[in-house]
Amino acid sequence: MTTSNELSRCVAQFDPQALPVSAAQAIVRQWATPIVAAERVALSDALDRVLAEDIVSPIDVPAYDNSAMDGYAFDGAALAAAVQADGSVSLAVAGRALAGHPFTGNIDVAQCVRVMTGALMPAGCDTVVPQEQVQEVQAVEGPQADQAAGDGQSIRFAAAALRAGSNRRRAGEDLARGAPAVRAGRILRASDLGLLASLGIGEVAVRRRLRVAFFSTGDELRSIGQPLEPGCVYDSNRYTLLAMLRRLNFDAIDLGVVRDEPAALEKALLTAAASADVILTSGGVSVGDADLTKQLSRALGDVAFWSLAMRPGRPMAFGRVWSGGRAGVGDPALFFGLPGNPVAVMVTFYQIVRDALLIMAGATPQPAPVLHAISAVPIRKRPGRTEFQRGTAQRAADGRWHVAPTGSQGSGVLSSMSEANCFIVLAHDQPDVDAGDTVDIMLFDGLI
Ligand code: AMP
Ligand code: MG
């Protein structure tokens, strides 16, 4: 198959026993083809979906010039024309405008209109003096100045504090009609939904959700609720995989635990290929007697086996599996055979798989933000592989981030991951780290 040839050609330039993380990321991205199918959903159901169309603003937002402050709107020409010897401007209050209740009259340069934030700028007005800067000079009669239109009241303020156009929001300053508002490929967040609502858009086209089938392999695995015989472990990878996939809003198809038996594995792989865009498995990709995934997925499609220059997460399989049982027959699915060790599963998912899945989902993946932190302790690091140690980072009183690895860094020690709030990323060529050295960290959580 051509695909197989291409896959092996992709890795040919690297040492197959140590494929750099950056090369694996590039190859995987190259094989990730976005799904095309889209559907229309209500805005209220669109959170975390991938926008399938460019949205162009059908209106100006805001739709009209309006006041940015509570105060008085007037013609900015008054700042030059009506200024007195002491530098102040006095204007007569001709009426008022509230948000949703415009002032409909006309005023001259010696007049102003009481306005509240968001009120339509009255005709002839382009400037607002905030009420804090104003002295109410006289109230001929009646109650407070802002209680009624006019009332013969006037205001005085220092001209120097303002310029023509101050405190006015222009029509279209948020978004002009015809301007791109949100681009296709955007994973819709709260601000995007608000923005689309501000344009009066109540429905959007989004890509159909990416379907990801996953299963665990291993005769030693027990499901929760089953007795744990000697030599057995509970299957935890399925839970981390389910959670990681759901967090990205993919359609996660759980195919359970599959025993290390050729027939069972073959059936699971074919079912997965028929029902999903992507197959994720854990376990059975290292050099061992029971490493059937390796043999089978090779038989069922085009699969390359990698030894990544990475820790944790060295062995990994990548390629395509066809539902017809042979390369080119039936429906293909992109296949990621992840290692079995629970931390390695999470690290390879985030560092190698995640962006490819986002691309397939139609999204434009953004690089994870990396911060510099000061290492509290020395860290041993072998050059020639990228290490993703688990760390706890915090911003100290000196305003800088400080980090320390969380306990044992074994690739099966899931508590190191659970306790951590970041990866300490030790680059391919980096040697040992001394206490006080700066390291890169990738925080697990962001604000939004
Ligand atoms: P393998 O890659 O299949 O040789 O597995 C490597 C290690 O990860 C072994 O200690 C397995 O018991 C463990 N392991 C594999 N799959 C799982 C799983 N689904 N949940 C927890 N541990 C696992
Ligand atoms: Mg196994």
Q: Which atom of ligand 1 is nearest to the CA of 235?
A: 20
pLDDT (0 to 100) of residue 150: 56
For residue 217, the one-letter residue type is T
Residue 215, SS3 per DSSP: strand
Cα-to-centroid distance, 415 and ligand 1 (Å): 15
Q: Which residues contact 139 (CB under 8 A, 6 or more apart)?
A: 145, 151, 152, 153
Tens digit of pLDDT for each residue in 263-294?
A: 999 999 999 999 999 999 999 888 776 677 77
Residue 85, SS3 per DSSP: coil
Q: Which atom of ligand 1 is nearest to the CA of 286?
A: 2
Please state which of the ranges 12-21, 31-40, 304-313 shows the lowest mean pLDDT.
12-21
Tens digit of pLDDT for each residue in 68-123?
A: 999 999 999 999 888 899 999 999 999 999 988 999 999 999 999 999 999 999 99
231 Rama sector, left if φ>0, alpha if ψ -120 to 50, beta otherwise: left
Tens digit of pLDDT for each residue in 372-425?
A: 999 999 999 999 999 999 999 999 999 999 999 998 989 999 999 999 999 999
Cα-to-centroid distance, 270 and ligand 2 (Å): 19
Please state which of the ranges 16-20, 325-329, 442-446 shows the lowest mean pLDDT.
16-20
- Please check whether residue 27 is in contact with residue 16, taking contact to mean a CB–CB distance below 8 angstroms: no
Look at residues 165, 199, 166, 168 and name the one whose alpha carbon lies nearest to residue 182.
199
**At residue 312, what are phi and psi to the nearest 5 degrees?**
-75, 170
pLDDT (0 to 100) of residue 106: 94
Is residue 174 packed enough to be buried (19+ CB in 10 Å), middle (13-18) or exposed (0-12)? middle
Rounded to 10 degrees, what is the CA torsion of 262, 265, 269, 275? 130
Look at residues 250, 313, 277 and name the one whose alpha carbon lies nearest to residue 24.
313
Delineate the domains of the chain, giving CATH numbers in brackets: 4-37+209-360 (3.40.980.10), 39-62+181-207 (3.90.105.10), 66-169 (2.170.190.11), 371-443 (2.40.340.10)
How far CA 136 is from CA of 72, 125, 164, 252, 344, in Å, comes to 11, 19, 21, 65, 70
Q: Which residues line ligand 1 (CB under 6 A)?
A: 216, 218, 220-221, 233, 235-237, 282-284, 286, 288, 339-342, 412
Q: Which tokens hold the place of 82? A: 């009506």
Closest ligand to C-alpha of residue 282 is: 1
C-alpha–C-alpha distance, residues 334 and 294, integer Å:
15
Element (H, E) at 222: strand 221-222
Ligand 1 pocket test target in 215, 234, 237 with most atoms within 8 Å of CB: 237
Tens digit of pLDDT for each residue in 214-267?
A: 999 999 999 999 999 999 999 999 999 999 999 999 999 999 999 998 899 999
pLDDT (0 to 100) of residue 9: 66
For residue 303, the one-letter residue type is V
How far CA 134 is from CA of 55, 130, 290, in Å, comes to 43, 7, 83
The residue contributing the CA closest to ligand 1 atom 17 is 340
- Has residue 174 got a pLDDT over 50? yes
C-alpha–C-alpha distance, residues 446 and 358, integer Å:
18
Q: Which tokens hold the place of 160? A: 């120097």
Average pLDDT over the chain, rounded to whole? Answer: 92
Residues in a beta bridge with 111: 92
Cα-to-centroid distance, 276 and ligand 2 (Å): 23
DSSP letter string, 156-201: EEEGGG--TTTTEEPTTSSB-TTSEEE-TT-B--HHHHHHHHHTT-
DSSP E strand stretches across 245-400:
251-258, 278-282, 301-311, 315-322, 332-338, 370-375, 386-395
Closest ligand to C-alpha of residue 341 is: 1
Residues in a beta bridge with 217: 258
Give the number of other Cβ atoms within 10 Å of residue 243's Cβ.
11
Q: Which tokens hold the place of 147? A: 């209680």
Give 199 or 147, the one with higher predicted confidence. 199
Cα-to-centroid distance, 231 and ligand 2 (Å): 12
pLDDT (0 to 100) of residue 379: 97
In angstroms and rounded to an integer, the radius of gyration of the C-alpha atoms of the chain is: 31
pLDDT (0 to 100) of residue 327: 86
Tens digit of pLDDT for each residue in 129-152?
A: 999 999 998 655 544 444 445 568
pLDDT (0 to 100) of residue 387: 97
pLDDT (0 to 100) of residue 18: 87
Q: Which atom of ligand 1 is nearest to the CA of 282?
A: 16
The residue contributing the CA closest to ligand 1 atom 15 is 340
Q: Which tokens hold the place of 411? A: 């690739």
